[in-house]
Amino acid sequence: MTEGCIRAALIAAMILVLMPAFAEEQDELTVFVAASLTGAFGEIGDLYQNATGETVIQNFDGSQMLRTQIENGAYADVFASANKKHMDALMAEGLMDNSSVITLLTNRMAVIVPKSNPGEINDLADLAKPGIKIVIGNSEVPVGNYARQVLDKLAADPGLREEYKTKVLDNIVSEETTVSLVVSKVALGEADAGFAYVSDVTPLMRSEVDVIEIPDENNVVAQYFIGVLRESEHPEKAQSFIDFVMSSQGSEVLARYGFAPVGAGASANAPASAAA
C-alpha cells in the first residue's frame, strides 16, 4: 500500500471514529407546541439556541393535532399542550415521562372583532343577534372547548336569556383546528367575531382587531402543560429546555405575549393528572 493510500485510510478511520461524537453534538431538540404559543415559543427557542448552541426545531399546531401525531409515532422531545385533556391522554398512554409534566402557564378567553366591526358587536349580548358571523375552534381544540365553557357560563347569567347559547351557536359559520385560524379569519374580516385567547391579541394584532372582554365570573382559566416525551433520545436536553422556558427569562417572554406564566419552582408545578 502506498504512503498516500495509508494516509487516506487513516483519515477515513479518524472520520468514522469522530462521526458519532459529531452527530451527537449536532442532535436537534424537537418541540411540539400548541399553536397559541407560536410567537412566545418562537422567541424563547431563539433565546435558548443563542444561550446553549443547541438546535431547536419547533412544530406548532393545535394540541389535539400534536397529540394525534405523537400517538401515530411522530418523534418529539418536548410537548407543550394548551389544555389538560390532551396531555393527560398521552400520559395515560405511557407516551410522556409523567414525572416531568408540569403546569406551564394560564390564559384567559376573549371575544375579538375586526377593527371595522361590520357586525356592530359592542358587547357579549350582541353575539346572539341574527345574522352575526362567528368563528370558533372546534370542540376538540382547547380554544374551542374553552369557548363552549364560556358560553355555558354566559347562558346561566341572569342578564342574558336562556336561549343565548343556542343563538350564538347558530351564528357560527366556521369551526377551526387552531386558534391562529380563528384570529386570522376575524382579522381578515371573514367573520364578525371570534373566540380567542387574551394572549392572541398581540401588539401586532391590535391594529387589526378589537377585544370585547369576558367578565371573570363568566370566563375560564385555560391551563397549559409541558413535559418530556418518554421516547426522547435527549431527555436531559429536553428538561434543560423546559427549565429555560420556566426560568425568569422564559417567563418574561411569556408574560410579554399576554400569558400568566407559572415560573420555575412555583407550587402550581404539578403533574397534569393532579391539576384542577
Pairing of strands 102-114, 172-176: unpaired
pLDDT at 263: 73
Comparing CA positions, the residue from 84, 81, 80, 78 lying closest to residue 97 is: 78
pLDDT tier at 271 (50, 70, 90 boundaries)? very low
Sign of the CA dihedral with 177 first, then 76, 56, and 43 last: positive
Q: Model confidence over 96-147: pLDDT tens digits?
A: 999 999 999 999 999 999 999 999 999 999 999 999 999 999 999 999 999 9
Read off the pLDDT of residues 47-89 as tens digits, 9 standing for 90 and up: 999 999 999 999 999 999 999 999 999 999 999 999 999 999 9
Backbone φ and ψ for 98, nearest 5 degrees, come out as -55, -30
* pLDDT over 60 at 22, yes or no: no
Residue 269 has pLDDT above 70, yes or no: no
Output the average pLDDT for the chain.
88
pLDDT of residue 1: 55
Domains and CATH numbers, the chain: 3-106+223-274 (3.40.190.10), 107-218 (3.40.190.10)
Write out the DSSP string of 25-85. HHPEEEEEEEGGGHHHHHHHHHHHHHHH--EEEEEEE-HHHHHHHHHTT---SEEEESSHH
pLDDT over 90 (residue 7):
no
Average the pLDDT over each of 3-17, 154-168, 243-257 and give the range with the smallest value: 3-17
Residues in contact with 58: Cβ distance below 8 Å, sequence separation at least 6, in sequence order: 30, 31, 32, 33, 41, 42, 45
DSSP string, 237-268: HHHHHHHHHHSHHHHHHHHHTT-EE--TT-TT
* Residue-level pLDDT at 160: 86
CA dihedral 94, 234, 82, 173 (to 10 degrees): -90
Which grid coordinates are listed for 110? 376573549
| Range 217-222 average pLDDT | 94
- Split at pLDDT 50, 70, 90, the class of 266 is very low
